[in-house]
Amino acid sequence: MKEKINYAECMKRKCSECKYYDECFEYKPKERKMLIKAKRIDNLEKKVSEYKNKAVIKYLNSKGYECNESIKSMRKVNSLLKSEMKKVVIDIQNERLSRIGAYYTWEAYIKVKIIDTITGKEV
């Protein structure tokens, strides 16, 4: 059973020395709520894929990989990740497609992470 984190005691020492370093609220990856609207369902699919690509690019840039929306830079980062035996995974939760009036809306929580291909654990 997991122990509860005492945050009052936690703030008195350095985070790198803390035994709860991996479980702490400061170091958990943030989920983003994705809400996209479109009049046609095919346009909605296109917007969703563009949003996912931008989220991955933003995440990779925050992790130190130089990436932009060009195909050349994406291939370069992909080959670099493959050489490090890692891959990028998009975790989508609570996705919902609905129609409100004349618009289709797509709602979901999206989390991007890099995992090790051998162990399957998050890096």
The domain locations on the chain are 1-28, 31-116
pLDDT of 25: 52
Alpha-carbon distance values, 118 to 82, 84, 115 (Å): 11, 11, 9
Q: Is the pLDDT of residue 30 over 60?
A: no
- Residue 86 pLDDT > 50, yes or no? yes
Q: How far apart, in whole angstroms, are the C-alpha atoms of residue 52 and residue 48?
A: 6
pTM, two decimals, is 0.70
* Chain centre distance of CA 19: 25
* Pairing outcome for strands 103-116 and 32-38: antiparallel
